[in-house]
Chains A and B, each alone.
Chain A
Amino acid sequence: MFKVAQELIGILGIDQRRLRLEWVSSSEGARFAEVVTGFTEQIKELGPCGLKQAA
């Protein structure tokens, strides 16, 4: 399902790096923080998505 969603946003012209799927168990607090921080940084780097209503 994730692969499908990623391919679809690709066709829609949305950067595929904006979508990510990671599995983190409840015992991996440090890893959870790492994944979320990493993803947040990536999104910040990419900047605003820029989706706006077509004129």
Chain B
Amino acid sequence: MAELANLIEATSTYFCLDCGVCTGSCPVARVFPQFSPRQIIERSLYGIEDFSDESIWDCLTCAQCSVRCPVNIDFPEFVRLFRDEAHGRGYSGVPTHNGMLQSIWAIQTMDIQQNRTFWVQEGKVAEKGDIFYFVGCRPYFDVIFRDIDAGSIKGAQNVLKILNACGIEPVVSNDERCCGHDALWNGDEETFKRLASINLEIIKASGAKKVVFSCPEGYLIFKRFYPKYFGDLGFEPVHILDFLAEQLKEGALEFKEYEGVVTYHDPCRLGRMAGIYDPPRELIMAIPGIEFREMTRARENGVCCGTSGWINCSGYSKEIQVERLSEAAATGAGALITACPKCQIHFRCAKAASDLEVDIIDLYDLFSANLNISQ
């Protein structure tokens, strides 16, 4: 199969040593032993893998395997390209929430007039300016996951409050679209490209030189994949944690006392894929009185939140999530801090179905509640 050969070529999987480190590291394989990245690669190398293979959709694309692979095989990228080919042949994963999210991003490829900035109530925003705040799908998540108290919009309001406190009045656009991250990882490159080109146009029209993200997926996709498809973007994608860590160093941020023990969950897009490990920790530890404890699996080894791209969420996902929450509770922390709106949703969903005591707090809610606003 020529396509399979291309895929192997593109990701250099022929270097595979058949060592099994990937499968041994994989959170899915641990709870679902039939799933094996090593075997998927072996079958592909022997030319007996088929694009109808359903197991390809079970991968979380979390990169736990690839950071440990002795020959640096980028398995998540292999999966992405595999899914793209499979999607073209009519295969797909099992969409969660009856495909609601897939429909929402598909509609956003259309010429629509959204009402997505309804949440901007107190903060200051601009129509045009140097800095664009790319909010991401929080307005939609807030409605869909209200029953598990996802609090997605509160997170966006708090990010805006923090930016305002730093003297920034960012552009927030009603025309922003889904960044396309999930479409891309669902193997739907066409939809990804449509969404991306609309976003690029809107940002260009705003005159922004920097685009600030609080969502790890949005940041990763703008930073790594938009240039791959569209070349030079004409602006710089900035993750807000990098920006805030800078502000902290310059003494521009000051926090109030917080009493309590917390731990932090590294989102895979922010940690393993974007290398942002220290800024969230520096910022959390800058809050006076806070006691920070690491989980056993942290930083490069931080386990995934159990499901990704709104496909194939299963009992295995729940098992991964509940195990992660127990790991957080075992540190003695009263709260697990998350830096990704989706990790937050997934953990709050798992928590609702368990009797674990640990709170799940959005990093920006924590910062905003403890910010000393001097200006």
Residues of A within 8 A of B (CB): 4-5, 7-8, 10-14, 51-55
A11 and B111 in contact, given A4-B143, A54-B194, A54-B198 (Cβ under 8 angstroms): no
23 contacts between A and B (CB under 8 A): A4-B143, A7-B143, A8-B104, A8-B140, A8-B143, A10-B115, A11-B114, A11-B143, A12-B107, A12-B114, A13-B113, A13-B115, A14-B107, A51-B107, A51-B110, A51-B111, A51-B112, A52-B111, A53-B111, A54-B111, A54-B112, A54-B194, A54-B198
- For chain B residues 78-123, which have a beta carbon within 8 Å of chain A? 100, 104, 107-116, 118
Q: Are B104 and A54 in contact, with the CB atoms below 8 A?
A: no
Per-residue 0/1 for B183-222: is the Cβ within 8 Å of any A Cβ (1 yes, 0 no)?
Answer: 0000000000010001000000000000000000000000
For the complex, what is the distance from the CA of A14 to the CA of B115, rounded to whole Å?
10
Which residue of A11, A51, A53 contacts B115 across the interface (Cβ within 8 Å)?
A11
Tell me the minimal C-beta distance from B135 to chain A in angstroms.
12
The residues of A that contact B111 with a CB separation of less than 8 Å are 51-55
Q: Are B140 and A11 in contact, with the CB atoms below 8 A?
A: yes
Q: How many A-B residue pairs have CB under 8 A?
A: 46
List the 3 closest pairs (A to B, CB-CB), nearest first: A13-B113, A13-B112, A54-B111
- Is residue B24 contacting chain A, with contact meaning CB distance below 8 A? no
Which residue of A5, A11, A53 contacts B116 across the interface (Cβ within 8 Å)?
A11
- For chain B residues 250-302, which have a beta carbon within 8 Å of chain A? none
Tell me the minimal C-beta distance from B345 to chain A in angstroms.
14
For the complex, what is the distance from the CA of A22 to the CA of B198, rounded to whole Å?
37
Tell me the minimal C-beta distance from B349 to chain A in angstroms.
15
Q: Are B139 and A52 in contact, with the CB atoms below 8 A?
A: no
For the complex, what is the distance from the CA of A10 to the CA of B142, rounded to whole Å?
13
The residues of A that contact B108 with a CB separation of less than 8 Å are 12
For the complex, what is the distance from the CA of A33 to the CA of B322, rounded to whole Å?
49
**Further 16 A-B residue pairs, CB within 8 A, beyond A4-B146, A8-B104, A51-B110:** A7-B143, A8-B140, A11-B115, A11-B118, A11-B140, A11-B143, A12-B108, A12-B112, A13-B115, A14-B107, A14-B112, A51-B112, A53-B109, A54-B109, A54-B110, A55-B111
Tell me the minimal C-beta distance from B204 to chain A in angstroms.
14
